Amino acid sequence: MNGGAHPSLLFALGYGVLTALTPCVYPMIPITVSIFGAKAGVPRGRALALATAYVVGIATMFGTLGTTFGLLGRAFGTFLANPWVIVPLALFFFAMGLSMFGAFEVALPSGLQGRLARVGGRGFLGAFGMGLVAGIIAAPCTGPPLASLLAYVATTRNATWGFLLLATYGAGVGLPFWLLAGFSMSLPRPGRWMEWVKSVFGIALFAAALYYLKNVVPQLARFGSGTPRFALTMAALVLVGLGLGAVHASFHGSTGERVRKALAVGLATIGIFGATNYLLAPKGDVKLAWLSDEPAAVASARAAGRPLLVDFAASWCVPCREFEVKVFSRPDVAVAMQRFTLLRVDVSREDEDPALGAIKHKYGADTLPAIRILSSDGALVAKTDTLVPPEEFLTLLSRAAP
């Protein structure tokens, strides 16, 4: 994958491990391991193999979901700039956050849970089958964080990346099972700390709701800056929120504690949302002059004898934002781009403007991100449909040299 893939995979792995530490999953670990025999005198090698089959089952189930949502994103990605889609999506994230704080429970019908719990058996196929249904059975805790990852995958519109990201998340969920079965590791005793983990997820889901809302709420979109002062302010909000009890306080305590918890969660949520906007804000000093009219940009490039760079982007496209932050804003890249006529085609509302479809077809931009580089005579000399490191992007730019 591209240069931005590894941090996302590490995040997904950690996200999965945190999910395994929630009250719905954690108690399952020793019980599940004992069921497929890893704690019943089975040789360590076989125990490790059984645990691996179990984790592969979890990763396969979640990876399949990731592929499905990546394909759905290809079909419905343009609707992610439509308020009729964004607002319900943000409300869904908010509701999932509330479930993490105990407002309600996301659970399968008891009859279906019972049937799923009987899936599996002895041997490797049995352990694999148990893994396939493990995440579904633990839906009260796995559902909300899983939903946030699937929504992100839909915005990338990349089925392969969806599988990798969600399979990595599944591996994180299964990692404690694997460690206990293969290495007889002891686990911390269940306790209140598991509710703290759920609070972390709740805050993250609230911040995700704001993140998606900013596509249709201008005030939220403007809440951000690439300055160190803004970053420090957001970090301070998060720290104050944590100090007041965003994680360790409870909504089941006294009235004063509930009010303090609500205030703390609000501060932490705003701080995390603002920090996300800071990370996605361009920080370079060189300002790039982007044109938005395709015929005018083509005419300008030909008249000046300059190469043309076409950037297809959308408000909902996370990799497009990463291009802006990680590549375009780097000083050496920005300087190199100044010898190009720059055209940005915003396809956020492609369904409302038929001309955008024609422009995409002209340049063969079927997915996002999509960058096309044309020589001064209008010939396509380079392109990329994935986020690439600055050094590789500079190589692409060099192909348009006169």
Average pLDDT, the chain: 81
- Comparing 95-104, 114-123, 124-133, 184-193, the range with the smallest average pLDDT is 114-123
- Under a CB-based contact definition with an 8 Å cutoff, are residues 130 and 116 in contact? no
Which residues fall within 8 angstroms of residue 125, CB to CB, at 6 or more apart? Answer: 53
Give pLDDT, residue 139: 53
244 vs 247: CA distance, rounded Å:
9
Check: pTM over 0.75? Answer yes or no: no
Mean pLDDT, rounded, for 130-138: 69
Helix (H) or strand (E) holding 75: helix 44-76
pLDDT at 295: 94
Q: Where are the alpha helices (DSSP H) in 77-192?
A: 83-100, 110-117, 123-137, 139-156, 159-183
Residues 6 or more apart in contact with residue 368 via CB below 8 angstroms:
77, 157, 312, 313, 314, 317, 319, 320, 347
Q: How many CA atoms lie within 13 Å of 250's alpha carbon, on the beta-carbon side? A: 7
Q: Determine contact, residues 374/363, Cβ cutoff 8 Å.
A: no
Q: In this structure, is the dihedral angle defined by the CA atoms of residues 79, 81, 82 and 88, taken in order, positive or negative?
A: positive
Report the alpha-carbon distance of residue 248 to residue 235 in Å, rounded. 18
Q: For the chain, which domains are there?
A: 5-190 (no CATH), 290-398 (3.40.30.10)
pLDDT in tens, 324-362: 888 998 889 999 999 999 999 998 777 677 888 899 999
pLDDT tens, 227-236? 889 999 999 9
Q: How far apart are alpha carbons 160 and 164 in whole angstroms?
A: 6
Q: What is the pLDDT of residues 94-106, one digit of tens each?
A: 888 888 887 765 5
Higher pLDDT, 123 or 279: 279
pLDDT reported for residue 141: 59
Phi, psi at 305, each rounded to 5°: 65, 35
- What is the full DSSP assignment across 85-97? HHHHHHHHHHHHH
pLDDT band at 2 (very low <50, low <70, confident <90, very high): very low
Q: Residues 165-185: what's their mean pLDDT?
A: 82
Output the pLDDT for position 114: 45
Q: Which two tokens stand for residue 1?
A: 């994958």
